[in-house]
Structure 1
C-alpha cells in the first residue's frame, strides 16, 4: 500500500507528460507501467486502491482523443487476456460510461 502511495504521484506526472508529448510512445509507456503495477499488486491489499487510481487515470485520458481511447482498449484487452478473473476492465468501462 505504501509503495503504491509513492508511485501514484509519478504516474500522474507521467500522464501529464504523455498528454503533451507527440506520438504514441508515452501512452504505451504509461499503460505498460500500469499493467506491470496491476500484475504485481492485484492480489495484495493495495489492489482496490490501484484499481481506483487506474480507473481515474484512464477515464481522464479518454477525453484526449482516439489514440488514447485505442490504447486504452488495447490495455484493457491485455489485462483481460493476462488475468481472466480480473474485474478491472469492467470497473473502468462502467465508470467511464457513468461520467
Structure 2
C-alpha cells in the first residue's frame, strides 16, 4: 500500500513541477501558481515521508529529497535494490 501511495505522490510531484515551470515560462498566471504550489509541496513532503516509512536505507531516503524526480528515483532504487558500496566486491 505504501509503495502504491509513493508512486502516486511521485507522479503528482513531477507533474505539478512541470506544470509550475510551464506556467512560469509562458503566461505566469498567479492563480495557477497559487493552486499548484501547495500541491507540489504536499506531494514532495509526502514522498519524503513515504520513503522514510518504506525503507531504512539512508541513500534511498536522501534520494527522496531531490525535488521533482526524487520520488521516481526512490521507486527505481526500491525496484532494483540498492547498489553495493564502492570498492566492495560481491562474493557468492
TM-score normalised per structure 1: 0.37
Of structures 1 and 2, the one scoring higher in RCO (CA 8 A, sep 6+) is 2
Greater share of helix residues, 1 or 2?
1
Larger radius of gyration: 2
